[in-house]
Amino acid sequence: MGVYERQQKEKKILEAAIHLFSEKGFHATKVDEVAKKARISKGLVYFYYKSKEDLYMAITKKGVDELKEIFNKAFGKPKEKTGLEVMTDLAESYLSFARDKKVFHDAILHFLGLLDQYQVDKEKLNPLILNSQYFTKLVQSHHDLAKLGIKAISTGIKDGSIRPDLHAESTFYTLWSMMIGYCRISGSVSLEPGEIKINTESWKNGFIKLFFEILKGSSTPSVSQPVQGKLF
Amino acid sequence: MGVYERQQKEKKILEAAIHLFSEKGFHATKVDEVAKKARISKGLVYFYYKSKEDLYMAITKKGVDELKEIFNKAFGKPKEKTGLEVMTDLAESYLSFARDKKVFHDAILHFLGLLDQYQVDKEKLNPLILNSQYFTKLVQSHHDLAKLGIKAISTGIKDGSIRPDLHAESTFYTLWSMMIGYCRISGSVSLEPGEIKINTESWKNGFIKLFFEILKGSSTPSVSQPVQGKLF
Amino acid sequence: MGVYERQQKEKKILEAAIHLFSEKGFHATKVDEVAKKARISKGLVYFYYKSKEDLYMAITKKGVDELKEIFNKAFGKPKEKTGLEVMTDLAESYLSFARDKKVFHDAILHFLGLLDQYQVDKEKLNPLILNSQYFTKLVQSHHDLAKLGIKAISTGIKDGSIRPDLHAESTFYTLWSMMIGYCRISGSVSLEPGEIKINTESWKNGFIKLFFEILKGSSTPSVSQPVQGKLF
Amino acid sequence: MGVYERQQKEKKILEAAIHLFSEKGFHATKVDEVAKKARISKGLVYFYYKSKEDLYMAITKKGVDELKEIFNKAFGKPKEKTGLEVMTDLAESYLSFARDKKVFHDAILHFLGLLDQYQVDKEKLNPLILNSQYFTKLVQSHHDLAKLGIKAISTGIKDGSIRPDLHAESTFYTLWSMMIGYCRISGSVSLEPGEIKINTESWKNGFIKLFFEILKGSSTPSVSQPVQGKLF
DNA sequence: AATGAATGAGTCTTCATTCAT
DNA sequence: TATGAATGAAGACTCATTCAT
C-alpha cells in the first residue's frame, strides 16, 4: 500500500472523527463509531492513531493548519493590501472559521489550555496527549499562527493604516482574546430578554466598531469605515 | 431534620464537589469521592442532587451568585464612584475571580455554551442538565449579571467618565469577551519563544491599555490613567 | 450489611474464582465468568477485589493459609510425635495438598517466583500484584510456613528421630525442593515408554525411600521404615 | 529460496523469540515484536510457524535439544569418567542451564506440565499446541534426555562410584526433582528474614551435600568429596 | 516468499445510578 | 434521612491471525 493510500485512509478516519466530534463532542464519541463511520475496523483506527487522544491531537493539528492556510491567504500578494486590510480579512476569516469549523476552533482553544497546564504542571497532563506526535508539532504550528497575526499588525503600523503607538504583539493577542470571547458568548447574547437592549446583530456591530477603534484609534469615530463592510 | 441542617448538608456536598472539580475537573471526579470528601454516603449525594450534572449546575449557580455579589460590591454606595471607577473594579474583580475561582468561571462559560446549544438544538442537550432545577434559575441569574455590567457603563456615560458615543450593552459584552479571551489564552502566551517579543507581563499592560481606551477613547493615549493602577 | 455477610460474599467470589482457575487457569478465566459463577455482577467482583491479580493474590493467600493449617495439624499435640513422624505427615500432607488443591499449590509456586523477581527487579513486577493487600500479607504467611517445616526437622534432630548432622534449614528447603520437583514431573513420568523401567508407582516408592534416607541416613537402608507406610 | 536460507530464517525468528520470551515472558511478547526483532514481517513469522504456540513449542524443542547436547558432553569419551563424575557434571550443567537459559528450562517444565495434562484430559489442551509438529517431536526428545540421566546412574552403580542399592530410574527422577525444585525456590530463600538461619549460599551447600549423599550414601558424611568441588 | 494493512472478538475495568434496608 | 452493596452498560484498547497484493 502506497503512501498515498495510507494518507487517504488517515484522512478518512480524521474526517469521520471530525464529523462525530462536531456532532457529539469528544467524550460522547466512541472510537467504535469513528471506525464505523470511516467504514473500517476499530483496530485500524488504532493502527493509524495511537489513542483517542492522539486522534484528537491530529484533529487539532489539522485545525491549526487550516487556520494558518486561511491566515496566509488573507495576506494576499505582497503590497496588495494594507496591514489594516489584512487584519480585517484575518478577523473575518477567523470568525467564520470559529463559526463554521467549531470543532477545530474548540480543539485549538483546548490545546491552548493544554499549553497552559503544560507550564503549570506537566505531570498532570494526560500522557496520551503528551505522547502524541501531533502535540509537539502543534506547539510550532500554533506559534506560526501568532506570528502571522503579529506580522499583519506590524505591517499596518509601518504602512500607516494602523495606529503607530500600538505594540503589535500585545495588540494581536488582545484582539485575538476579543474574538475568542466573542465566539464564546455571542451565542448566548441572543437569549437576553427584552429588558436588555441588545441582540446578536446589534452587538456584532458594536463589537466590530470597538475592534477597529483599537487598530485605528477612536479619534475619528464618525468617519465611515468601508473596509469593515467586508467583515461578517 | 430541620431546613437548616438540610442546607448545611447541601453546602457540605457542594463544597466538596467544588474542591474536587477544581482539582481534577468534572469528568475525573467521581461521585464517590465527593461523598467521601463530604463525609456522607454516595446515596445521600443523590438525595440532594438528582445527578452529577445537577450537582454541576448547582455549582454553576453558586458561581454566578458569587460573581453577582462581587459585582454588587463593586458599585459601592450610590454616587460614591464614577461609572468608569466601577467598571475598573468590575474588571479587576472579574479577572481575580476567573483566576482564583477557576471552577466557577469555567462553569459559567460552560453554561454560556449550554445556552448557545439550547438555541441551536435543545434536543441535543443532556437531559440531566436540562432537568436540573438549577438550570432554569441560572438563566435569570446570568441575566442579572449582564445587567450590572451594563449599568456600570451606562452610569459612566451619564457621569462623563466614559465616552458618550458608546453603546452600553454591546460595549459591556465586548469588554466581557475581551476578558474571557484573555483568561483563556494568557496562560499560553508565556510559552511563546523569544522570536515573538511578548511575555505575560508586557501583554497584560498592553491589554489593560486597550481595555481602557475602549472606555475612554484613544484620543488622549498619553494622558496618565491613575484609575488603571488598581487593575490586576 | 454485616461483616459476616460481607465475608460470605467474598468467600463466594473466591470459591468461584478458585473453581474456574483450577479448571482453565488464570489467563483463560474471565472476570465475567467468575462473577457469573458467584451469581453476582462483574462490578461487585471489583468491589471486593481491586483487580483480577488482587483476586489471584487472595487465592494464593488462602492457599498458604490452608497449607499452614495443614502443617499445624501435622504437629499434633505437643510431645505426641517425634520430629520424624511430624515430617512424615508434613510430607504426606504437602503432596496431597499439591495434588488435590493444584490451584493453591500452583499459586504458591507462582508467588515464590514473584518473590524472586521482587529481589531481582521490583520495578518489573505487575503493579496490580504489588499493590494487592494480599501480597504483603503473603510474605509473612509464607515465612510462617517455612518456620513450621524447619521446626519439625529441628525437633526430630533433638529427639533423635532425625540425623543429628543435618542442618535443619537447608534440609527443609532441600526436601521442599524435592517435593516441588516431584509434583512438577510426576505427571509426566508415567508417559515414559516401556524402554525406561519406571512408572508412577515405582518412582513414588523410590522417591519416598530417598526422601527418608535424607532424614535418617542411608547407613541402615535395609531397616524397614514403618513410619513411611503412612506416606501417600 | 534454498533449504539453507529457509533454515537461517527460521533460526533468526527462533532467536528473536527466545530473546524476547526471556526478557518479558510468553504472554507479554507480541508476535509483532518477534517479527521486528528478526527483521522480517509478521506474516512471515506465520509462514514459518503456524501459531505463537507453535513457535513456543519450537523453542521448547530447541531447549530440550540443547540440554541433550549438554548431557551428551557430560559423558565425555567412553570410560573416561566414573558414573558419579558424570552425574556430577550432569547436575552442574543442568543447574547452569536452568540459570543461564531460563527460558529453555521454563519451556521444558511447561512441556512436562503439558504431558501431564495430556494424560489427564487431552481435550483441554490448547489445540494450537497439540497441532504443533514440535509437540510430537518433543515427546521423543524429552525421553532421550531421561535416558541419558538414567544411564549415568547405571554406569555409576556398575563401576562402584554410586551406591549399588539404588534404583537408577527412580533415583534419576528424584534427583531431577530436587534440582527442579531447587531452581524454583532458590530465588526466594534469600528473602527469608533473619529469624531463619539460612541464605542462598548456606542452602546451596546443604543442598549439594544431600544431593551427593543420595548417590553415595550418608555412611561417610565426614569424608571429603572432592568431586563435589566442581558443582556450582 | 514476503509484506503489513486489516480484522474483530475479546478483556479488563470504570462509574453513575439505584434500592433494599 | 442515610447507607453502601449491587448493578450493568459502556468503553478504550489489544493482538493473534488472515489475506490481498
Q: Do A191 and B139 touch (CB under 8 A)?
A: yes
How near does any CA of chain A get to the CA of B57, in Å? 17
> How far is residue C109's CA from residue C113's CA, in Å, rounded to a whole number?
6
Percentage of chain C beyond pLDDT 70 is 92
DSSP characters over A124-175:
GS-HHHHT-HHHHHHHHHHHHHHHHHHHHHHHHHHHTSS-TT--HHHHHHHH
- pLDDT at residue D218, as a whole number: 65
| Mean pLDDT within C8-12 | 93
Tell if the CB–CB gap between D119 and C218 is shorter than 8 Å: no
CA distance B65 to B50: 21
Pairwise CA distance, residues A148 & A141, whole Å: 11
SS (H, E, C) D10-39: HHHHHHHHHHHHHHHHHHHCCHHHHHHHCC
CB D71, CB D145: distance < 8 Å: yes
CA dihedral C151, C154, C158, C162 (to 10 degrees): 120
pTM: 0.88
Q: Over 60: is that where the pLDDT of A219 sits? A: no
pLDDT range class, residue B218, cuts 50, 70, 90: low
Neighbours of C10 (CB within 10 A): 15
Q: Nearest-CA neighbor of B201 among C54, A84, A167, D47?
A: A167
Q: What is the mean pLDDT of the segment spanning B84-89?
A: 95
Q: CB under 8 Å to C101, separation ≥6 — which residues?
A: C63, C66
Q: Are residues B92 and B139 in the same domain?
A: yes
D53-67 as b/e, with b when 16 or more CB fall inside 10 Å? bbbbbbbbbbbbbeb
Do B105 and B44 fall within a single domain?
no
Same domain, A172 and A123: yes
Query: Is the pLDDT confidence value at B221 over 60?
Result: no
Q: Are residues B34 and B136 in the same domain?
A: no
pLDDT tens for each residue of B139-177? 888 889 999 999 999 999 999 999 999 999 999 999 999
Residue D102 sits in the same domain as residue D160:
yes
Residues B114 and B225 reside in one and the same domain: yes
Cα B210 to Cα A173, B84, B175, B179, D160, distances in angstroms: 11, 14, 10, 12, 106
Q: Which of C146, C174, C180 is closest, CB to CB, to D184?
A: C180
Q: Do chains D and C touch (3 or more CB pairs under 8 A)?
A: yes
The structural domain count of chain D equals: 2
Tell me the pLDDT tens digit for each residue of A72-110.
999 988 888 999 999 999 999 999 999 999 999 999 999
Residue C18 has pLDDT above 90, yes or no: yes
Q: What is the pLDDT of residues A19-61, one digit of tens each?
A: 999 988 999 999 999 999 999 999 999 999 999 999 999 999 9
Would the pLDDT of A229 be above 50? no
Location of C-alpha cell 534440582:
D179
Q: Are residues B154 and B196 in the same domain?
A: yes
C223 falls in which pLDDT band (50, 70, 90)? very low
Measured distance CA(D32)–CA(D38) in Å, rounded: 10
Mean pLDDT for all residues in chain A: 89
Q: What is the CATH number of the domain that holds A41?
A: 1.10.10.60
Mutate to test the interface with D, among C20, C142, C145, C173 (most CBs of D within 10 A): C173
Same domain, A113 and A62: yes
Assign C232 a pLDDT band (cuts: 50, 70, 90).
Answer: very low
Same domain for A198 and A85: yes
pLDDT (mean) for A155-171: 95
> Could you say which nucleotides of strand F lie within 7 A of any protein CB atom?
1-20
The CB-side HSE value for C44 (13 A sphere, CA atoms) comes to 16
C-alpha A84: how far from its chain's center?
A: 20
The residue ranking higher by pLDDT, D47 or C140, is D47
pLDDT at residue A221 in the model: 40
Q: Which residues of B touch A139 (CB under 8 A)?
A: 191
CATH code: domain of residue B169: 1.10.357.10
Q: What residues contact D13, with CB distance under 8 A and at least 6 apart? A: D34, D35, D38, D40, D44, D45, D48, D49, D55
Contact B170 A202 (CB under 8 A): yes
- Contact list, B163 vs chain A (CB under 8 Å): 218
D213 → closest Cβ in C118, C197, C218: C218
Each residue's pLDDT tens digit, C150-200: 999 999 999 999 999 999 999 999 999 999 999 999 988 877 766 777 888
- Chain C partners within 8 Å of D167 (Cβ): 202, 206
Length A31 CA → F15 C1' (Å): 17
Confidence of residue A218 (pLDDT cuts 50, 70, 90): low
* Domain of residue A18, residue span: 1-48
What is the C-alpha separation between D229 and C102, in angstroms, rounded? 37
The residue in chain B having the minimum alpha-carbon distance to the alpha carbon of residue A192 is: B143
| Model pLDDT, residue C218 | 64
Q: Based on the domain organization, do C198 and C91 belong to the same domain?
A: yes
C-alpha C130 chain-centroid distance: 21
The per-residue pLDDT string of chain D (232 residues; one tens digit each, 9 = 90 and over) reads: 688 988 999 999 999 999 999 999 999 999 999 999 999 999 999 999 999 999 999 999 999 999 999 999 999 887 889 999 999 999 999 999 999 999 999 999 999 999 988 888 888 899 999 999 999 999 888 889 999 999 999 999 999 999 999 999 999 999 999 999 999 999 888 777 667 778 888 999 999 999 999 998 865 433 334 444 344 4
Query: Closest nucleotide to B38's CA, by C1' atom?
Result: F2
Which DSSP string corresponds to chain B?
Answer: --HHHHHHHHHHHHHHHHHHHHHHHHHH--HHHHHHHTTS-HHHHHHHSSSHHHHHHHHHHHHHHHHHHHHHHHH-STTSS-HHHHHHHHHHHHHHHHHHTHHHHHHHHHHHHHHHHHHHHGGGS-HHHHT-HHHHHHHHHHHHHHHHHHHHHHHHHHHTSS-TT--HHHHHHHHHHHHHHHHHHHHHHTT--TTS---HHHHHHHHHHHHHHHHH-SSSTTS--GGGGG--
Asked whether residue B22 falls in the same domain as residue B93, the answer is no
Are the Cβ atoms of D170 and C205 closer than 8 angstroms? yes
DSSP one-letter code for A229: G
The yes-or-no reply on B/C contact (3 CB pairs or more, < 8 Å) is no
Separation between Cα atoms, residue B157 and residue B151, nearest integer Å = 10
Residues D139 and D59 in one domain: yes
Q: Which residue is nearest to nucleotide E3 (CA to C1')?
A: D41
Q: Which residue of C has its CA nearest to D163?
A: C218
pLDDT at C119 over 80: yes
Strand E bases, protein C-beta under 7 A: 1-20
Mean pLDDT, residues B209-231 taken together: 62
pLDDT at C226: 40
Chain center to CA of C91? 11
Answer yes or no: do A195 and B147 touch at CB < 8 A. Answer: yes
Residue predicted with more confidence, C60 or C3 = C60
Please write down the long-range contacts of B130-137, taking CB distance under 8 Å and 24 or more positions apart.
Answer: B131/B50, B131/B54, B132/B50, B132/B51, B132/B53, B132/B54, B132/B57, B132/B58, B133/B54, B134/B54, B134/B57, B134/B58, B134/B60, B134/B61, B135/B57, B137/B61
Tens digits of residue pLDDT in B27-69: 999 999 999 999 999 999 999 999 999 999 999 999 999 999 9
Which of A48, A63, A78 finishes a domain? A48
Looking at the partner chain, which of B170, B178, B221 has a beta carbon nearest the beta carbon of A165?
B221
